[in-house]
Amino acid sequence: MITGGTGSFGRAFVKAMLEQTDASRIVIFSRDELKQWEMQQQFENNKRLRFFLGDVRDLQRLNRAMDGVEYVVHAAALKQVPAAEYNPFEAVQTNILGSRNVIDAAIDRSVRRVVALSTDKACTPINLYGATKLVAEKLFVDGNAYAGSQDTRFAVVRYGNVVGSRGSVVGLFRKLASSGKIPITDVRMTRFWITLAQGVQIVFRAMENMCGGEIFIPKIPSMRVVDLARVIAPDATQEEIGIRPGEKLHEELVNIHDAPNTYDLGDYYAIEPNLEWWAGGSLGGTRVAPDFQYTSDTNDQWLSVEQLQDIVKDV
């Protein structure tokens, strides 16, 4: 089952599940009936799909939807930063209390594995959205202890901005390209950049390898916002307008406080719980340096203008 399954990630995840797995039943749990109908048409009423109308704020409905489910991906969230600042308790109810409901329902229904999606904004958060996602991360990590004797295990995947997802800056820049001016909050700004396909694969990897309690972080490239604007609107003038409230100059995926529990596993990092119930996993890997930080401005992978052009043209 995937919560928030009609979103950008959900559609990509379901497509991959249908193509790459033999899952007999895939439950799409979301609250928008029109988007569910559109998704049904997209997948030509595939008999392996089940569409449940519901909200993660509704524990009873989650319990019903998880009947017979073995794996859950929790992607439902209120994620627009300005909307969360203006409607803070709505974000709390969905991102925090909704996450608690997913955890409770998964344990009560004996779900085997649960992977929750998080964001770079949860690392050292400075806005309400990031703060709610940090709390959600803590809930899912600690859910492994909360499960008690149940075999249900929880893990988190944390990654950066998704190319072409709803609310992406790509759409904004395209909309404004014909105006001749593109607003840039700060010419120094950098961001982590991940495609939907990469996001789906790291979730698959987490489900395969998780012991319970890890935060998985893919190694992904950074990009300069000014380069992205140049790719989308090459003839437009860039106008620096200043950083908005709740916005960072650079994003973080691992901060220095996480470093003592972070392991390098090749194409991704894993932060292990620093909690007494953690018995240690079998992921292996190499512990990173004590002063390690994974930030978008100090990254060793960068997208060139040419690479951004190739990525954006397919969005």
Over residues 162-211, the pLDDT tens digits come to 886 766 788 888 888 889 999 999 999 999 999 999 999 999 999 999 99
CA 305 → CA 176, 229, 230, 298, distances in Å? 19, 10, 8, 18
The whole-number mean pLDDT for each consecutive block of 10 residues of the chain, a chain of 315 residues, reads 96 96 96 96 96 98 97 96 94 98 98 97 96 98 93 96 77 87 94 92 95 96 94 91 90 96 95 84 87 96 92 78
Residue tagged active-site, from 35, 79, 121, 133: 121
Amino acid 171: pLDDT? 81
At residue 279, the pLDDT reads: 72
Q: What is the CB neighbour count within 10 angstroms for residue 182? A: 21
Model pTM score: 0.94
Residue 197 half-sphere exposure, CB side, CA atoms within 13 Å?
5
For the question of residue 313 being annotated catalytic, the response is no
**Token pair recorded at residue 30:** 């979301």
* DSSP structural state of residue 139: H
Q: In order of start, what are the domains of the chain with their CATH numbers?
A: 2-312 (3.40.50.720)
The Cβ of residue 147 has, within 10 Å, a number of other Cβ atoms equal to: 19
